[in-house]
Amino acid sequence: MKTNIKYLITILIILLIAPEIEAQFGNGGRGGGGRGGFGRQQRSAIPQSQAPPKEEAPKTAEQIVDAEMPSIVASLGLDPFEEAILSTTLKKYMQERIELQILKLPNDKIREAYEKINKRQDEELKAGLPIEKYDAFVALQKSGLSKAKKDLRKEEKKKKKKKKSKK
């Protein structure tokens, strides 16, 4: 009878301690996917992605123009009225260009349509902006807006250096 009690106490102690050991050391046991808590774990050689990569939505005409306007305004020195004229005109014709891209026309037709859009845009800008600002904008378009952005960054760095040297 003593041996039965010893076995019974041993089994009871193991049953009471087992969940604590499993919680501290093991992955396995209940809910462990059928693997043991210890030993070699099988893993896939192919990495599992958490979520499918999100496709970026194409920017709208307004977003494109709004992103470029600060550098254009700074490089041309536009007042708020001129900035509004330029912004609305660029948004209008940028939207037309985007719509052309969506249509996926043959290259020669797209080229013709772009030329017409550019001509109308130039006429509208000539009418709305002073001639010197219009000429500066055309020159900025030809030289490239990215160059203007770089020039602005250089000017800002120079200004910061001058401020630091004065202190």
Residue range 138-158, pLDDT digits in tens: 888 888 766 655 665 666 666
Within a domain: residue 104?
yes
Residue 27 CB neighbours (<10 A): 13
Higher-confidence residue: 108 or 50?
A: 108
Angle at 7 between CA 6 and CA 10, to 5 degrees: 85
Within a domain: residue 123?
yes
Within a domain: residue 40?
no
Within a domain: residue 71?
yes
Within a domain: residue 105?
yes
Q: What is the pLDDT of residue 59?
A: 81
**Structural domain tally of the chain?**
1
Q: What span, in angstroms and rounded, lies between the C-alpha atoms of 109 and 96? A: 14
Within a domain: residue 164?
no
Within a domain: residue 100?
yes
Domain around 98: 61-155
Q: What is the pLDDT of residue 116?
A: 92
Q: What span, in angstroms and rounded, lies between the C-alpha atoms of 157 and 150? A: 11
Within a domain: residue 69?
yes
Q: What is the mean pLDDT of the chain?
A: 77
pTM reported for the whole predicted model: 0.55
Q: What is the pLDDT of residue 156?
A: 63
